[in-house]
Amino acid sequence: MDYQPKDIEREVRNFWEKNRILQLLMKMREKDNVGVLGFVEGPPTLNGFPHIGHARGRIMKDLRFRWKTMQGYYVPFWAGWDCQGLPVELEVEKHLGVKNKRELLERVGEGRFVEECKKVIKKYYEAWLECDRKLGLFIDHGRAYWTYHDNYIEREWQYLKRAWEQGLLGEGYYVVAYCPGCQTSLSSAEVGYEGAYREVEDPSLFFKMKISMKENEFFLVWTTMPFTIVTDMMLAVHPEAEYAKVRVGDEVWILAKQRVEPVMEKLGIEKYEVIEVVSGKELEGIKYEYPFKDIVPKQKELDELSNVHVVVCEDFVDVETATGVVHLSPGNGEEDFIAAQKRNVPIYVPFDDECKFTDEAGEFSGLFARDADQKVIEELKKRGLLVNVETILHEYPTCWRSHHKLIWLARREYFLWTNKINSKIVEAAEKVEYFYEPPKNRFLSFLREGKPWCISRERVWGTPLPVWKCEKCGHKVLVATKKELLERALKSSEEEIELPELHKPWIDKITLKCEKCGGLMKREPFVLDTWHNSGASPYARFTDQEFEKYVPVDFLVEAIDQTRGWANSLLLEHVILTGKAEAPYKAFLFYGFVLDAKGRKMSKSLGNVIEVNPLLEKYSADLCRFYILWKCSPIDSMNFDVNEMMKRPYQVLSTIYHLHRFFMQNAEYDGFNPQKFSLEWAEKNKLLRQTEYWLLSKLQETIEEVTKRFEKCEFNFAMSKLEDFVVDVISRQYIPMIRRELWSDSPKTLNRRLAIYSTLWHVLKNTILLFNPATPFLSEFLYQKLYRQFDPSLPESVNFEKWPVADPKLRNIKLEEDFELLTKCISLVYSARQLAGLKRRWPLRKAVLIIPEEAKLSIQNLKSLFLELANVKEVEFSEKLPENYDAKRWSLASEGELTVLLDTFRDKSLIGEGLMRDLARRVQALRKDLGFVPTEILSEVHIANLSKESLGLIQPFLEELSELVRARKVYLHEEKPEIKAEEWHEFQLDKEKVNITIIP
RNA sequence: GGGCCGGUAGCUCAGCCUGGUUGGAGCGUCCGGCUGAUAACCGGAAGGUCGAGAGUUCAAAUCUCUCCCGGCCCA
């Protein structure tokens, strides 16, 4: 029976489900364990189908779970689903065919929209369940958490309550990308969508900013967004760069020294002179004349402040382009905004929701932002400040839906002021184990930026911000439980307050009475950033008691992009909640992306997305699991290639399967009973030989190495070690060493065969245990079909077994080295045979090994094995190559310190034996072709058309031949005899043609 | 534009941290062999300016710098 992984997997899946193996396992470990390892599922967002990148993470999670569970730990490996947020909303919008938020609210309404969101979640949930089932994930779906459920949301609110109490939650400005067409702000994810960046036309404007108190000195500034000059608050230079004062006519212009030449060339100014060079640092603090004070009264007012309209130093200033002097509009740019916040510069944002200037913008009032460009240019020209204007083409982010050019706007939002506790956060993060340096550095450097976290979103499907604000006095309260809300809610009449769930639109109907002034309090209309929603899972998904027990959790694994996502929000929220410099996880493995076979990112537009469910319709889950773990380090990006998967990885799993078949065929035939013929039994009766001790030693090495690699999350190295053990050690080396012994069915050697079975039983069983975390289907299948058949006293599932522990007593490094040397010498013998054209099955008289003294002892130790594998009658040792050996007779091969001389002379007896083995091989091939099982004994084998000479040569080995081919009698004929043969088969035997037939 | 990761045989990857004998493995190709567990396996051969350049050193795939190419994250 061939290896049919898909059939195996179907059968095992049914077995697990029917016998509730996962549930039994959980119960067993919950009751009886060597320790508890906390876990919380990084919830997949239910806005799409699982793809191979998701599978990569899930496979590693499952590996960790199965491995740690086998070690005896209890792990609450319970599922969880991320249900809210923009990604889900966008999926629903697509489904409903609405183009933007306004249309959504008008046409669909919030209530129905929320219901549609839930429908979408359900749909994708089914797909994810199927994915986990196919992958063989032992995650408990019965205990899953859902981020949109009321109980989850209420516990999520507790984080906000803690932040509120500590003064870490409040209002502020934040710069967001805003689409003037859709009239909504966009998330950063949307800004990064494929195709969002487009080549667009913009003005390219050089203008001057006059320095106050100086007659003719100016800063030369460049921008592609003239309208931002209306909201200009500062000029920025790079502190370390050199700036030149350049005389142009009777004016002095200041710009980056390295930019003088290119800019002057660009502006067509030939006559100029650099009169002084200063560092950016020296320019700091210079006040300049804001040009539109006369037409923008608010700017005139702001200009009175000492920190407005001055030069500042910022590292982000790029002196490689333009003039190296940047003007800052905190209301229209993120870096500008942060620079302003650092210096307590007020944020001036005179825009309404349609992105038109408000009355605060003086003469620009009523103009749409981008339409103000022209007026700005004219006004500059009027004041003699315009230097040059033209049009350029450049890449600029546009709205992925409407393709309007995006505008960056500071808007009032709610923040967690995590910047205030940044040192605690960084300290907490530094204590975490990340397994690899690069992702750790990436995460820590991101955290050290210490930006405040904008948690409000102007959307619908999310956790509502539980803050109510008084319309009259502006007083705010945070109400963090449903119970309290209902108690405090204002009742319009006698009717009951209805709050079916903690979502918009229902929650917005709740109004409160202001405790300060008695005014009406309405909820702030925001929902929370969905990352806050999932980041609350350690507290929100557990009970208080469970939280105590499982958090900080032991080990998490998510994709590398989660450094800015879940890993971050988990950490920030946990530090806020506990007030401690402690992360909610002790270890976090960030894994790399999965790319397509050619190394391209998977995307819908390329059509190269590999979805898990269709993939596993066609391919084996075990194989995908093994391949993904095996191919490269978890932190590397991985090119997923099914053709590659079907080569070496397939071979490894197939070999495990066939090793078991081989074992079973033989062991069954000899009536092996593992309880009776244990390894101890074999040992006690001195039935084990060096081959077995060597194999057992290699097993210990493998157990040790795999465990060590698992600890360090070096799954690829663990898999290579297993690959090597299965393919090289067992299949390629050990089996050929004992094959001849197993082929015999003599009762005299039965005990020896049983000893081999006891060794194979032990080694193979440990092997499938080591494989179980990676290939749970195959391991379970073999466990049920082989191990539990032979030994019904074994536990019900392979998952109930204990993880193997290396036994140092079985380790014999010297013996391993001897075997390594043996392998090398045998290779040399084959090489020498090759040169002389002598087949491996032809026995030869003698091999001479010219090897160092210690090596000689090693080979002598393994002499009989050497003779069998080399297929020579005797071996001799020599210290050096004889000076005048007969090169015609002796074939030589050498490598390094090792040299082999092989006697190529064959007498009649050797030729006859070789011929016999040739014939045996032909008969065996025929047996197999004709469908005889290996153990079946044939009554007669006839071999005809042999030359007289061959006949004579073979005669002495006839008995051995019949034993080899398992026939009662073998007859040799010169010509085809007249017997009742089924059919004669012709074979080419070197130059002769022989005919063979079998009579069963 | 910024940051990070990668570039080693036709392909997929080790080796680099801690510099030192002729730079490895698997797959693929060619020749030959072996095989009653295997979709395998074994021997041999062909195949590398270790992305490019410079530096440090007695010595560089390995350390430093610059550049080029690919990928990712963020602007």
Give the model's pLDDT for residue A981: 59
Is A890 within 8 Å of A846 (Cβ atoms)? no
| Residue A662, nucleotide of least CA–C1' distance | B37
Q: Write out pLDDT tens, residues A6-21.
A: 999 999 999 999 999 9
Asked if the Cβ of residue A406 lies within 7 A of any atom of strand B, the reply is no
pLDDT of residue A74 exceeding 70, the answer is: yes
Nucleotides on chain B that have an atom closer than 7 A to a protein CB are 1-6, 11-14, 22, 26-28, 32-44, 70-75
Q: Predicted confidence band at A168 (pLDDT cuts at 50, 70, 90)?
A: very high
A921-952 pLDDT, tens per residue? 888 878 877 777 777 788 888 888 888 888 88
Predicted confidence (pLDDT) at residue A625 exceeds the cutoff of 90? yes
Can you give the pLDDT at residue A187? 63
Q: Which residue is nearest to nucleotide B44 (CA to C1')?
A: A831
- Interatomic CA–C1' length for residue A91 and nucleotide B40, angstroms: 48
Cα dihedral sign, A68-A69-A74-A80: positive
The answer to whether A827 CB sits below 7 Å from nucleic acid chain B is yes
> Confidence band (pLDDT; 50, 70, 90) for A751?
very high
Structure tokens at A17: 């489900």
Q: What are phi and psi of A464, to 5 degrees?
A: -70, 145
Q: How many other CB atoms sit within 10 Å of the CB of residue A238?
A: 22
Give the amino acid at A523.
Answer: R
In the predicted model, is pLDDT for residue A194 greater than 80? Answer: no
- pLDDT at position A588: 92
Highest mean pLDDT: which of A535-544, A711-720, A850-859? A535-544
Across A897-914, b (16+ Cβ under 10 Å) vs e yields: ebbbbbbbebeeebbbbb
Which DSSP symbol is given to A783?
I
pLDDT, tens digit, for every residue of A375-404? 999 999 999 999 998 887 777 778 766 778
Is strand B within 7 Å of residue A967 (CB)? no
State how far the Cα of A568 lies from the Cα of A87, in Å rounded to an integer: 19
A20 contact to strand B (CB, 7 A limit): no
- Strands A251-256 vs A242-248: parallel, antiparallel or unpaired: antiparallel
Q: Looking at the predicted structure, is the pLDDT value of residue A320 above 80?
A: no
Of A643, A601, A608, A600, residue with least CA distance to A623: A643
Mean pLDDT, rounded, for A100-129: 89
pLDDT mean over A541-570:
92
Q: From the CA of A721 to the C1' of B21: give the distance in Å.
A: 27
Helix (H, G, I), strand (E, B) or coil at A183: coil
CA of A446 to C1' of B75 (A): 14
DSSP secondary structure string for all residues of A707-729 = HHHHHTT-HHHHHHHHHIIIIII
pLDDT at site A118: 95
Residues A354-385 as b/e (b if ≥16 CB within 10 A, e otherwise) read: ebbbeebbbbbeebebbebbebbbebbeeeeb
- Residue A253 clears pLDDT 90, i.e. is over it: yes
Mean pLDDT is lowest, of A56-65, A624-633, A874-883, A976-985, for A976-985
Report pLDDT for A108.
Answer: 87
Provide the token pair at A376: 């700005």
User: A910 or A539, which is more confident?
Assistant: A539
Nucleotide nearest to A320 (CA to C1'): B1
Residue A716 CA distance to nucleotide B60 C1' (Å): 28
Q: Minimum mean pLDDT among A693-697, A707-711, A817-821: which range? A: A817-821
Q: Protein A714 CA to nucleic acid B22 C1', in Å? A: 31
Nearest residue to A75 via CA among A83, A67, A87, A86: A67
Which of these, A403, A341, A475, lies nearest to A99 by C-alpha position? A403
CA distance A690 to A193: 63
- Stated in angstroms, how far is A717 CA from B26 C1'? 14
Nucleotide minimizing C1' to CA distance for residue A837: B32
Half-sphere exposure of A787 (CA within 13 A, CB side): 25
